[in-house]
Every structure is written in structure tokens, then in C-alpha cells.
Amino acid sequence: MEEKKSFFASLEPKSALLVGLVGGVLVLCTIGFLIMLGMSLSSRAKGEAKNVDDKKVVETADSAEVQTPVVAKSDRPKVELFVMSYCPFGLQMEKAYLPAWDLLKNKADISVKFVSYAMHGEKELTENTRQYCIGKDSQDKLISYLKCFVGEDNSAKCLASVGLTDAKLAACTNATDKQFKITENFNDKSTWLSGRYPVYNVQADLNQTYGVQGSPTLVINGAEANVGRTPEAVKQAICAAFNNPPAECQKTLSNSAYSAGFGLTAGDNAANAACGS
């Protein structure tokens, strides 16, 4: 009985060699294709994961900016915004703060206060004291003055809009300057913070109590609150501090942020940008 030969055994030597080579090439090509496919799928998966991670970062940042902070509650919240009067980011926050202040001024104790040093020269010390004295005269006048001032760096015009002049404020500004040695300390650089920034001690005690380091710093019921820089975000933060929120809290304010610095143009919600450490 004739022995059955395999396919390769039935081939001529040269043919068998050729088939073997072709087969080897096909095997190598297949292996190479599988490796490349695996690398491609792995790279794609990593790319998708990166995109998802990036998206998560963006969403987290956006939600952090508008998220209402957890604050201590009281019947009449105490709300204090610490700024440097010429800090662009302080001005940006004030544009968001003023509508909420105006809305809730009869329901909460809301104020603007000043960081205990200045980064924008002697003019900032002068403007801080000017605003401090306007506030001592009238909260409503200070709100109106600031609404003007954040839009345009023109203190004379803004004072006139509320029926005041520097001459009318002189008794207060001179007394404040003397009491807290504002000009004296400005002229004595040995008193400057880190030898670079003149001190402004009008509310230095509160700066120390709250650990205020830069402008802007928002303090609600004695604790710092990180709030998005839109009128609605500020309003929500203040309203969250009431034991029983008043009807005013039902009013929706603008969710748009303003630009940093003077002017009332739109800008981004740069919640973490500040002047100072």
C-alpha cells in the first residue's frame, strides 16, 4: 500500500522552499499587523482617557468657581470684602459684589474693607482712605461711589455723583491719616512690608484675625469664602449664610463676570487671581 505523503513532502525541493518562505513572510506580516493594531488601540485608549481627564479638569474648575461655599449661618450675616482699591482683581470682585450688596444691604451687614498693605503706590493709600471715609458717612453713598469708581478711575467725578468732595471728607481723611500713621509710614520705608509695600493699618486688626493676605479676600461670618466673581455667585454665597434667607434671595442677579481692572466690559470668572500672596 502506497504511503500517503503530506502536502510539503509531495512538493519538489525548490517549490517547498518557496512555499516555506512565503508562509514565513505571511506569518511575520500577521504578527507585525497584530502588534501595530495593539499599539494603535492602546494609543487611542490613552488619548481618550486623556480627553476625559482634561474634560473632568475643566468641569471641576468651572463648577468650583460657581459652587456656593459652605459658610456658617446667622440671622444677620456679616460679610466683609477686603481689597486694595487699585488692585485689578479687587476691582473685578467689587463689580460682582456691589449688586449683591445693594440687594441685601438691609438684611445683612455688608462692607468693603482694606488689605493691610498697598501694592499700587501712594494713590492707593489715598483712595483707600477716601473710600473708608465715604463709608463712615453713608453706606448708600459708598455703594454709589464704588459703582462709579470701578467703571472709571475718576474719584472727583464719582465724589460729585454722590454730592461729596475731597474737601468735605478732609476732616475724616486727615484724622484717619494721623490716627493710623498712613503718610508717616509711607515716608518711612523701614515700616514697609518686606521692604517693598507701604502698610495700611486702618483695619490691620481684622486682617490679622482673618488671615487676609491679598486682594480680594471675601469673609462671611468670620471665615474666608472662595466665591465666583459674578453678582449671582456672590448673592448665593451671602444668602447661604442666613438661617432664614430673606425674600431678596429669590431674585436672580447676573451670572456674567466682568473684566479685571477699571471698566464694565465682560471678562472671565478668574476666581483665584489676586494681588498679593
Q: Tens digit of pLDDT for each residue in 88-132?
A: 999 999 999 999 999 999 999 999 999 999 999 999 999 999 999
> Of how many residues is the chain composed?
277
Task: Please tell me the predicted confidence (pLDDT) of residue 69.
Answer: 79
- pLDDT for residue 268: 77
Q: Give the C-alpha separation, 263 to 277, whole Å.
A: 25
pLDDT of residue 254: 96
- Say how far apart CA 80 and CA 221 lie, in whole Å: 8
Question: Which of 39-48, 134-143, 180-189, 197-206 bottoms out in mean pLDDT, i.e. has the lowest?
Answer: 39-48
Tell me the domain boundaries of the chain. Answer: 72-276
**What number of H helices and E strands is found in the chain?**
9, 6
Nearest Cα neighbor of 229 from 170, 182, 272, 269 is 269
Taking the domain 72-276, which CATH number applies? 3.40.30.10
**Across residues 39-56, what is the average pLDDT?**
38
Max Cα separation, the chain? 131
Band of residue 35 on the pLDDT scale cut at 50, 70, 90:
low
pLDDT on residue 219: 98
3 backbone φψ class: left, alpha, beta (φ>0; ψ -120 to 50)? beta
CA distance 77 to 81: 13
To the nearest whole percent, how much of the chain has pLDDT over 90?
71
Condensed to tens digits (0 to 9), the pLDDT of residues 184-238 reads: 999 999 999 999 999 999 999 999 999 999 999 999 999 999 999 999 999 999 9
Which backbone phi and psi does 112 adopt, to 5 degrees? -110, 135
CA–CA dist 263, 256 (Å, integer): 14
pLDDT at 67: 65
State which amino acid sits at residue 208: Q
Q: Could you tell me what percentage of the chain is helix, strand and coil, using 3-state DSSP and rounding each to the nearest 5?
A: 55, 10, 35
Over residues 134-141, mean pLDDT:
95
pLDDT at residue 64 is higher than 90: no
